[in-house]
């Protein structure tokens, strides 16, 4: 049996016959939607916790609509999602000039013109105004008060100035917010850097972890932020591990989103009965492995399936290197993982939170990275470099023996292993 591991815009083939004791976890499979656009259109007419989108527009007498969209690091099938939304808005009387798109970059770099066309299509770019959010552009940030755990909340001016605000995106497990999608379009999506920083610092809480919302301060503040700006309507997609849309949820930013969360939990949480000596984890290919910063999600999930002292082989091309300056500085300035953990405890910095998450993993697990990065850079991350997957497999075999327990995660960025504890 062969397993395909996406690598950048190509792939690497893993021959499972070379592994003595291996299992593959890839999440539950359900049929993808036959027609995503039609399903979106249906949900716009019959949303959860809201009236039909066109009726919501009319009730508010909305003349200006802001649609918040994901950046390129979060693949979203906008070619199918946006046309029915725009059709519904125009039916409600909103003119072309009354509709703007705001890209929820968070602290990521702004998207290039070519990337924007790739994400939403040339026709939309040529017809509507599309704006990159910039978390450091203070003149375009409005103060909205203090959130639940003390975060001073600044949000993009366009969100406040618009009559009607819509959020769009994809729901998937998130390593400290619980799940992505919904309220995350606002915080961190279109918030100021300091607001994002204070909110993300809450990830040190024991409750801020993958797939957990109960008592999770990061999530609770994100919901608070979405309510403060009065998000009027949400359209989110649940995709399977192959990126195919399987469900659409629409309507209230909290109620409808929680519907999607439940679907996502059933899809992505995979129960395991034993931790593995070696976990082979694929970040998911482009753009999920565009840099180490993005590939970290796969490492975090893989760590959940790896025994203490075990080895994680992570397959991620990383053509853009580490991906974020602060993250890079934290890793390169540290002499050990403990240095990173100490730095986090003494003062939170955005970008540093990814370094913190990686440091927690490499404290008791080894990470072998198959990538396009120079070996010296890989070692400065406290990882072990491998020129290819075969070399990584040989290394793991030598370390753990020929009959080691192995788990393969072809979609490690979205699949969450869950160890069943028998009491």
Is the pLDDT confidence value at 422 over 70?
no
Is the pLDDT confidence value at 421 over 70?
no
CA nearest neighbour of 102 among 166, 14, 36, 188:
166
Q: Which residues of 68-85 are buried (b: 16+ CB within 10 A; e: fewer)?
A: bbbbbbbbbbbebbbbbb
Any idea which of 83-87, 231-235, 294-298 has the lowest mean pLDDT? 294-298
pLDDT the model gives residue 423: 36
Alpha-carbon distance of 336 to 6, in angstroms, equals 31
Model confidence band, residue 420 (pLDDT cutoffs 50, 70, 90) = low
Comparison of pLDDT for 375 and 348, the residue scoring more? 375
At 292, list the tokens: 């180490």
The pair phi, psi for residue 310, each rounded to 5°, is -80, 180
pLDDT tens digits, 59-110? 999 999 999 999 987 889 999 999 999 999 999 999 999 999 999 999 888 9
At 157, list the tokens: 């001016």
Mean pLDDT value across residues 18-41: 90
- Contacts of 389 by beta carbon, 8 Å cutoff, 6+ apart: 5, 12, 14, 280, 313, 315, 370
3-state SS of 305-356 is CEEEEEEEEEECCCCCCCCCHHHHHHHHHCCCHHHHHHHHHHCCCCCHHHHH
Q: How does strand 173-174 pair with strand 178-179?
A: antiparallel
Which residues sit opposite 408 in a β-bridge?
24, 280
pLDDT the model gives residue 208: 94
Mean pLDDT value across residues 253-276: 94
pLDDT the model gives residue 222: 98
At 345, list the tokens: 């405890």
pLDDT the model gives residue 109: 85
Mean pLDDT value across residues 234-260: 94
Is the pLDDT confidence value at 17 over 90?
no
Where exactly does CATH 3.40.50.11440 map onto the chain?
36-267
pLDDT the model gives residue 164: 98
Alpha-carbon distance of 256 to 51, in angstroms, equals 12
- Where in the sequence numbering do the catalytic residues fall? 108, 174
pLDDT tens digits, 153-190? 999 999 999 999 999 999 988 989 999 999 999 999 99
Model confidence band, residue 414 (pLDDT cutoffs 50, 70, 90) = confident
- Contacts of 6 by beta carbon, 8 Å cutoff, 6+ apart: 282, 283, 284, 285, 286, 289, 410
Alpha-carbon distance of 233 to 252, in angstroms, equals 6
CATH code for residues 2-28+273-419: 3.90.226.30
Where exactly does CATH 3.90.226.30 map onto the chain?
2-28+273-419
pLDDT the model gives residue 385: 98
Mean pLDDT value across residues 375-396: 97
Q: What is the mean pLDDT of the chain?
A: 94
Is the pLDDT confidence value at 125 over 80?
yes
CATH code for residues 36-267: 3.40.50.11440
Is the pLDDT confidence value at 287 over 90?
no
Mean pLDDT value across residues 201-215: 93
pLDDT the model gives residue 60: 95
Model confidence band, residue 28 (pLDDT cutoffs 50, 70, 90) = confident
Q: How far apart are the first and last CA of the chain?
A: 35
């Amino acid at each position: 049996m062969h397993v395909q591991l996406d690598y950048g815009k190509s792939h690497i083939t893993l021959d499972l016959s070379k592994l003595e004791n291996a299992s593959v976890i890839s999440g539950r499979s359900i049929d993808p939607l036959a027609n995503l656009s039609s399903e979106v259109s249906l949900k716009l007419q019959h949303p959860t916790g809201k009236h039909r989108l066109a009726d919501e527009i009319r009730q508010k007498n909305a003349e200006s609509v802001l649609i918040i969209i994901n950046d390129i690091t979060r693949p979203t099938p906008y070619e199918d999602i946006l046309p029915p939304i725009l059709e519904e808005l125009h039916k409600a009387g909103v003119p072309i000039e009354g509709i703007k798109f705001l890209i929820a970059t968070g602290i990521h770099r702004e998207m290039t013109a070519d990337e924007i066309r790739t994400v939403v299509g040339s026709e939309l770019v040529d017809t509507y105004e599309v704006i990159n959010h910039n978390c450091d552009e203070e003149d375009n940030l409005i103060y909205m008060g203090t959130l639940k755990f003390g975060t001073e909340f600044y949000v993009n001016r366009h969100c406040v100035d618009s009559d009607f605000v819509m959020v769009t995106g994809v729901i998937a497990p998130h390593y400290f917010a619980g799940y992505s999608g919904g309220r995350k379009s606002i915080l961190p999506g279109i918030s100021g850097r300091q607001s994002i920083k204070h909110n993300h610092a809450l990830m040190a809480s024991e409750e801020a972890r993958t797939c957990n919302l109960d008592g999770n301060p990061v999530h609770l503040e994100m919901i608070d932020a979405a309510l403060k700006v009065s998000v009027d309507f949400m359209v989110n997609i649940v995709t399977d591990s192959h990126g195919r849309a399987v469900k659409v949820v629409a309507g209230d930013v909290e109620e409808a989103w929680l519907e999607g969360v439940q679907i996502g939990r059933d899809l992505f949480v995979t129960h395991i009965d034993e931790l593995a000596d070696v976990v082979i984890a694929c970040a998911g290919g482009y753009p999920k492995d565009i840099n180490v910063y993005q590939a970290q999600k796969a490492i975090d999930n893989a760590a959940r399936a790896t025994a203490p002292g075990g080895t994680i082989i992570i397959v991620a091309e990383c053509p853009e290197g580490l991906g974020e300056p602060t993250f890079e500085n934290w890793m390169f300035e540290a002499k050990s993982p403990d240095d990173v953990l100490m730095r986090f405890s003494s003062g939170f910095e955005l970008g540093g939170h990814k370094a913190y998450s990686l440091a927690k993993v490499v404290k008791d697990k080894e990470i072998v990275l198959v990538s396009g990065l120079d070996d010296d850079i890989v070692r400065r991350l406290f990882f072990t470099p491998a020129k290819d997957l075969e070399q990584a497999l040989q290394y793991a075999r030598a370390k753990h023996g020929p009959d080691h327990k192995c788990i393969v995660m072809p979609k490690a960025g979205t699949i969450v292993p869950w160890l069943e504890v028998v009491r």
